[in-house]
Amino acid sequence: MKKSLAIFDMDGTLVDSMGYWNRLADEYLAQRGIPPLSGALKEESIALTMLGTARIFMREFGLPGPPEAIRGEINGLMELHYRADVELKPGAAACLERMRAAGFRMCVASSTAPALIDLCLRRLGARDYFEFLLSCEEVGVGKNRPDVYLEAARRLGGTPENTVIFEDILVAATTAKQAGFPLGVIYDANSDAEQPQLKALADCHFTRWDDEALLTWLGV
């Protein structure tokens, strides 16, 4: 079936922001005199919503909460980076333009709050490519389950078979692939260790959004 719909992850996929996110929890905890997260806690939190991460902080470090307040404080730190530092990944604007010209309908499905995605994409001039922005928090689970992808496809009016998903990390890519979506994976330096598995999993693995292999796969 011809691909005509597309769901994009935000961080590490559309924009080069994973370095900021990877440091964000430790930045937040350091402000409170708490040591950095252990490797095990980072692994536990990677596929969670921000509320899930906030609950880990409450459980492990005795932060008073509520989790919604912690989420707001963490998002506030990241907002500063979205306003000033984060850029689109190379070739993204050109690829989005070609996809729109070819008739693709597109959205973003992310663990990041929609307000932050909107702020960043508007600053970068890319918001108008996407019909809507959907957060894992709106569906209640992270990307270790397919709910956010299935809801995004439903809103686009499609099915997994004709809706391509773009991701950059293994846990999310695995979920998307197991749910039956065609999978495009973009290289991100922050997931170097996962690249062999990502390459084996992806229908199309690419390093830049203007890679000819990607454009040919999409038919644009």
**β-pair partners for 106:** 6
**Are both 38 and 128 inside the same structural domain?**
no
Same domain? 160 vs 211? yes
From CA 72, how far away is CA 51, in angstroms rounded?
9
- Give 161's Cβ-side CA count (13 Å radius): 2
Over pLDDT 90: what percentage of the chain? 76
Same domain, 12 and 48: no
Asked if 196 and 92 sit in the same domain, the reply is: yes
Here the tokens at position 156 are 């686009």
DSSP conformational letter for 15: B
The confidence score (pLDDT) of residue 178 equals 97
The CA distance from 201 to 182, in Å, is 10
Determine the Cα–Cα distance for residues 171 and 175; give it in Å rounded to an integer. 6
Using pLDDT thresholds of 50, 70 and 90, give the confidence band for residue 101. Answer: very high
12 and 40 belong to one structural domain: no
What pLDDT, on the 0 to 100 scale, is given for residue 137? 86
Residues 92 and 171 in one domain: yes
204 & 128 share domain: yes
**Where residue 69 falls among pLDDT bands split at 50, 70, 90?**
very high
| pTM for the full predicted model | 0.86
Same domain, 109 and 199: yes
* Per-residue pLDDT tens digits for 132-176: 999 998 998 989 999 999 999 999 999 999 999 999 999 999 999
| Residues 24 and 118 grouped into a single domain | no
Residue written as token pair 């918001």 = 127
CA angle 18-174-2, nearest 5°?
A: 100
Q: Mean pLDDT, to the nearest integer, of 176-195?
A: 96
Smallest CA-to-CA distance from 89 within 204, 205, 11, 191 is with 11
pLDDT of 1 > 60? The answer is no
At residue 33, the pLDDT reads 92
From 32, 51, 84, the end of a domain falls on 84
Is residue 178 domain-shared with residue 118, that is, in the same domain?
Answer: yes
pLDDT category at 202 given cuts 50, 70, 90 is: very high
Q: Give residue 163's pLDDT.
A: 97
* Percentage of the chain exceeding pLDDT 70: 99
Q: Tally the domains of the chain.
A: 2
Sequence-ordered strand ranges (E) for the chain? 5-8, 105-110, 133-135, 163-167, 183-186, 204-206
Is it the case that residue 187 has pLDDT exceeding 80?
A: yes
* C-alpha span between 39 and 16 (Å, rounded): 22
Within 8 A by CB and 6+ apart from 76, the residues are none
Residue 107 and residue 206 in one domain: yes
Please name which of 79, 147, 149, 90 lies closest in space to residue 116, comparing C-alpha atoms: 79
pLDDT tens-digit profile of 14-36?
999 988 888 888 889 999 999 98
pLDDT value of residue 49: 77
Q: What is the mean pLDDT of residues 34-41?
A: 86
* Residue 2: predicted pLDDT: 72
Q: How far is Cα 212 from Cα 81, in angstroms, rounded to an integer? A: 31
CATH of the domain at 37: 1.10.150
Question: 67 with 94, same domain?
Answer: no
CA distance readout (Å), 152 to 56, 109, 157: 27, 7, 9
First vs last C-alpha separation in the chain: 15
Domain boundary among 57, 84, 111: 84
Domain that holds residue 134: 5-17+87-218
Mean pLDDT of 172-196: 96
Instruction: Write down the pLDDT at residue 85.
Output: 92
User: Secondary structure of the chain: what % helix, strand, coil (to 5)?
Assistant: 55, 15, 35
Pairing between β-strand 204-206 and β-strand 105-110 as defined by DSSP bridges: unpaired
